[in-house]
Amino acid sequence: MEENLIEIAMKMILNAGDARNSIKEALDAVMDDNRTLAEEKLVESKRFIEQAHLYQTQVIQREAAGEACSYSREINDNLQRVSFGNKNE
């Protein structure tokens, strides 16, 4: 699983980042009084978050099945920083 973990981690991070960008675009659309675009961007962001969650769940399920995965906690921590913009680190 280790060789595939980096690929999965990158997909999680990319999807989380894309979700964050979509949310920012939705907020910008609200400021421009464009409710239609804001709603579209929120739907888009939800799809990105759901995809990131699926990748995260995949790692957790593989660990639960007994596959060694020494970096999953570190990846999860990094994903949360990217997703929620934790500027402390």
- Cα separation, 10 vs 55, whole angstroms: 10
Q: 3-state DSSP: the chain helix, strand, coil percent, rounded to 5?
A: 80, 0, 20
- Cα separation, 24 vs 32, whole angstroms: 12
- Mean model confidence pLDDT for the chain: 83
Give whole-number Cα distances, 60 to 9, 11, 46, 50, 75, in Å: 12, 15, 21, 15, 11
Specify the pLDDT at position 59. Answer: 83
What pTM value is reported for the model? 0.70
What pLDDT digit, counting tens, does each position of 58-77 carry?
888 888 888 766 655 566 66
